[in-house]
């Protein structure tokens, strides 16, 4: 027991050894929350308070789940394979597989990743003759997922107007299409599980009795439905409810656009009557100046639960800030700094360049390429998202579930086999007429189109027959050969890389079956009888049959179905993966959960970071500030920030004011790399900062240096123009009757106006 606890600080020890009651752990960035979570699980098991099967641990990424399982295996001599530790989606998938009949799903239901979901929606709109310009597919997808994240079916969504009513109608039709094809999207996994447990009391009570300890990572990122799901699983409000150990950081809640509700933390504290709130404030990642910048910045947010990070690592180096005249100069400065770091012996993979918008990477990439510095941009396709892999997976999906129309359409004519648009149109008409899947409708298509389609059906059925007793890895190889994918890419000029990826798919299948507890010779297809033998069935007093929670995934899914689910869930995991000996480029959102020795935060300008949209949304600026807090706390040893007077974005040159966040950073933690005087009185400083403060602070010298007494105007003055609206004076030149001002009018851009002619009004 002492060995288990000896590396914990006082705060961590208090959290790990809490009594069996619901608790909220405020875990600051770099405070060792993963250690606390895994040690808490190990301590509960080792002290005999719970068996491994009585633990339910929820993470937000597959990477985090694997990390917890690896650490637990190292801590204790237990088999972690059957433990319920995973993402919300992964755990819901597992539960639905065990109870697919009660959930109203086929045994071989398949998961749509975001790409597949969008394709399914486009197909629906086309089949219903809906104008996809008036009702954009991506907007409909956001609408559907947003409703599901709130736990709402189409019938529950209020339609405020005809446009909204059409979206509700399409949502209902989309649900019907998915049910007919035996597929579910990510949001459906949670909603279907929640509905199943809500209406099935014996099943719900079984899991409530089993999981007496529920642990949740990244609690600040839960959406409304996930929070309801947790309340249901824990039996919240009941006398014998489970103990929920929620770990999160409200200062790092940055996914409101995905439905995350930071208010869930306060709601949890209130509704679960939390008596134990522990703050993990000891930071093991960053030096003092970096933490000072983060702490003082985030203190500007209201409604925080409140904490202050500290470190024993010393102050370290100050945060370096650079002002450039253009984004090109900014990129060149980053190149110089990176070269300097590499010359000092820093690894390229431990240096990250972060930006608010993906559009900023173009200039950075060009500069890095020209400087011959290897770099890796996160945001590219993951392995399971690559076109050639999606094609191979679609063949496997169709073999596992013949009703999957999305998979059918992806590969029916790939590689090309003479099945054109007219043939598919005939097939879709037949499927509508007979209310069946495209696969089942093939016999109803006559003529040449029917012959071509039948040839494809024979290909699929032949592959199913040939692989029925083969293990998964051999099945994948047979499908790659029989489908013609390998031959197709052999004839492509740049097909070698695609073939290498397809061969890697065979390796991925081999690794998967061994990790999930299947024998390497287990057939890829497992019939219902084989699955019944593999699982341990329990019949409750109410006659409900339940697969024992100790049973691993192999007990309730065939290797093929499990592998296909794994592929979809991996494609949906959106956290960046650091690696390769290359400079790391990514958005701040993607960087959450990662850390680097040196971090560059670029484009710190008003309208970019904080983003211009944040001003239009309630709490938008506070979310941007949390995003900035996340960016700062990615850095261990050195932190660089940069902003630019002009930037080319979306084909237009933007004239910028520096981000308001600079006014919220402690001066003693900042080192201006441009001349200090230029930075203090930058011609594009934020108007609500130094300029407004100068007269009040008594520093009249500043105001005199940057104003024209003879004109009555000063830099930083807010003004209004009859044509251009409100703007800010960013520079003044000349004097007397020839005084001119550079004024940033926002959407109208920068204007040079003669002050003796322009009819400007001062705005307080």
Residues designated as active site: 33-34, 217-218, 252, 634
Q: Which tokens in the block code for residue 651? A: 């084909």
Q: Where are the beta strands (DSSP E) in 252-335?
A: 276-280, 319-326
The closest alpha carbon to 105, from 2, 189, 219, belongs to 189
Identify the sign of the CA torsion 630, 636, 642, 648: negative
Provide Rg for the chain, Cα atoms. 29
Q: Please choose, from the candidates 637, 84, 94, the residue with its C-alpha nearest in 3D space to the C-alpha of residue 318.
A: 637
> Which stretches within 516-587 are classed as H helix?
528-534, 559-571
Name the region of 171 (left: φ>0; alpha: ψ -120 to 50; beta: rest): alpha
How far from chain centre, in Å, is Cα 472?
A: 30
- What is the C-alpha to C-alpha distance for residues 624 and 629, in angstroms, rounded to an integer? 9
Q: Phi and psi of 599, rounded to 5°?
A: -130, 135
Give me the helix-helix angle, 387-400 and 472-483, nearest 10°: 110
* Strands 725-733 and 740-744, sheet pairing: antiparallel
What's the gap between Cα 425 and its chain centre? 37
Asked if 498 and 480 count as a contact pair (C-beta separation under 8 A), the reply is: no
Judged by DSSP in three states, 357 sits in coil
Which residues have CB under 8 Å from 152's CB, separation 6+?
none
**Dist CA 618 CA 630 (whole Å):** 20
641 within 8 A of 322, measured Cβ to Cβ: yes
Tell me which residue of 546, 399, 537, 401 sits closest to 101, measured CA to CA. Answer: 546
712: Cα within 13 Å, side-chain hemisphere: 7
What would the 3-class secondary structure string for 447-469 be?
A: HHHHHHHHHHHHHHHHHHHHHCC
Structure token digits, residue 673: 């790399």
Which alpha helices (H) appear in 572-661, and where do they start and end? 588-591, 620-632
* Residue 717 DSSP symbol: -
Residues in the chain: 764
For residue 18, is the peptide bond before it cis, meaning its omega torsion is within 30 degrees of 0? no
The answer to whether the CB of 2 falls within 8 A of the CB of 8 is no
What does the alpha-carbon distance between residue 375 and residue 442 come to, in Å, rounded to a whole number?
49
First CA to last CA distance, the chain: 65
- How many H-runs (helices) and E-runs (strands) does the chain carry? 30, 25
Q: Which residue has the tokens 């054109």?
A: 420
Residue with tokens 């004076």: 729
C-alpha to C-alpha distance for 162 and 762, rounded to whole angstroms: 44
Buried residues in 581-594 as b, exposed as e (16+ CB within 10 A): ebbbbbbbbbbbbb
Give the whole-angstrom CA distance, residue 232 versus residue 206: 12
Q: What is the DSSP string of 654-686?
A: EE--B-GGGGGS-GGGEEESS-HHHHHT-TT--
Cα Dmax for the chain: 94
Cβ pair 337, 330 in contact under 8 A? no
CB 31 within 8 A of CB 283: yes
CB 447, CB 420: distance < 8 Å: no
Peptide bond into 162 cis (omega under 30): no
């Amino acid at each position: 027991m002492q060995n288990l606890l000896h590396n914990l600080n006082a705060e961590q020890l208090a959290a790990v050894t809490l009594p069996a009651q619901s608790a909220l752990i405020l875990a600051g960035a770099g405070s060792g929350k993963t250690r606390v979570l895994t040690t808490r699980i190990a301590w509960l098991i080792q002290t005999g308070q719970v068996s491994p099967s009585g633990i339910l641990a929820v993470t937000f990424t597959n990477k985090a789940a694997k990390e917890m399982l690896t650490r637990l295996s190292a801590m204790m001599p237990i088999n972690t394979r059957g433990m319920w530790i995973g993402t919300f989606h992964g755990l819901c998938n597992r539960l639905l597989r065990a109870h697919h009949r009660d959930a109203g799903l086929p045994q071989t239901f398949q998961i749509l990743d975001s790409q597949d979901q969008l394709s399914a929606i486009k197909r629906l709109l086309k089949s219903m003759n809906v104008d996809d310009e008036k009702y954009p597919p991506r907007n409909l997808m956001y609408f559907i997922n947003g409703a599901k994240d709130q736990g709402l079916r189409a019938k529950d969504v209020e339609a405020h107007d005809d446009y909204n009513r059409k979206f509700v109608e399409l949502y209902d039709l989309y649900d019907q299409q998915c049910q007919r094809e035996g597929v579910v999207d990510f949001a459906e996994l949670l909603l279907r599980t929640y509905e199943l447990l809500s209406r099935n009391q014996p099943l719900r009570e079984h899991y409530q009795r089993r999981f007496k300890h529920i642990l949740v990572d990244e609690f600040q990122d839960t959406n409304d439905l996930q929070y309801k799901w947790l309340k249901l699983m824990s039996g919240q409000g009941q006398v014998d409810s489970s103990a929920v150990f929620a770990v999160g950081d409200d200062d790092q809640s940055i996914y409101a656009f995905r439905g995350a509700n930071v208010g869930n933390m306060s709601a949890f504290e209130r509704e679960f009557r939390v008596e134990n709130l522990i703050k993990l404030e000891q930071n093991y990642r960053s030096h003092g100046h970096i933490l000072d910048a983060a702490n003082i910045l985030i203190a500007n947010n209201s409604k925080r639960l409140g904490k202050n990070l500290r470190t024993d690592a010393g102050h370290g180096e100050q945060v370096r800030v650079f002002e450039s005249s253009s984004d090109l100069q900014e990129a060149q400065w980053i190149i110089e700094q990176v070269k300097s770091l590499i010359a000092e012996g820093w690894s390229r993979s431990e240096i990250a360049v972060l930006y608010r918008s993906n559009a900023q990477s173009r200039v950075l990439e060009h500069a890095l390429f020209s400087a011959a510095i290897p770099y890796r941009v996160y945001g590219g396709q993951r392995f399971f998202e690559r076109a050639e892999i999606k094609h191979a997976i679609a063949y496997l999906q169709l073999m596992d579930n013949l009703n999957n129309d999305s998979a059918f359409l992806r590969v029916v004519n790939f590689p090309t086999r003479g099945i054109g648009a007219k043939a598919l149109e005939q097939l879709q008409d037949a499927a509508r007429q007979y209310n069946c899947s495209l696969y089942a409708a093939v016999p109803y298509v006559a003529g040449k189109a029917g012959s071509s389609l039948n040839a494809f059906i024979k290909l699929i059925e032949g592959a199913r027959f040939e692989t029925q007793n083969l293990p998964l890895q051999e099945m994948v190889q047979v499908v790659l050969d029989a489908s013609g994918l390998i031959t197709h890419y052999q004839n492509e000029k740049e097909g070698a890389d695609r073939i290498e990826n397809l061969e890697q798919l065979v390796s991925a299948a081999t690794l998967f079956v061994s990790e999930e507890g299947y024998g390497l010779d287990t057939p890829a297809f497992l019939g219902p009888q084989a699955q019944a033998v593999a699982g341990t069935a329990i019949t409750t007093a109410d006659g409900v049959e339940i697969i024992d929670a100790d049973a691993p995934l192999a007990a309730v899914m065939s290797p093929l179905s499990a592998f296909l689910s794994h592929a979809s869930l991996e494609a949906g995991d959106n956290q960046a993966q650091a690696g390769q000996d290359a400079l790391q480029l990514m958005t701040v959102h993607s960087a959450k959960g990662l850390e680097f020795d040196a971090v560059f935060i670029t484009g710190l300008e008003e309208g970019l970071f904080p983003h211009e949209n944040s001003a239009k949304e309630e709490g938008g600026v506070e979310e941007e500030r949390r995003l900035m807090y996340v960016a700062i706390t990615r850095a261990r040893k050195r932190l660089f920030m940069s902003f630019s007077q002009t930037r080319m974005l979306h084909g237009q040159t933007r004239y910028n004011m520096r981000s308001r966040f600079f006014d919220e950073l402690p001066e003693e933690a900042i080192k201006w790399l441009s001349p200090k005087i230029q930075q203090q009185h930058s011609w594009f400083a934020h108007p609500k900062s130094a300029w407004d403060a100068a007269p009040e602070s008594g520093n009249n010298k500043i105001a005199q240096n940057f104003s024209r007494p003879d004109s009555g105007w000063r830099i930083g003055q807010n003004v209004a123009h009859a044509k251009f609206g409100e703007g800010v004076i960013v520079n003044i030149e000349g004097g007397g009757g020839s005084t001119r001002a550079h004024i940033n009018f926002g959407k109208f851009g920068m204007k040079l106006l003669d002050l003796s002619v322009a009819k400007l009004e001062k705005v307080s």
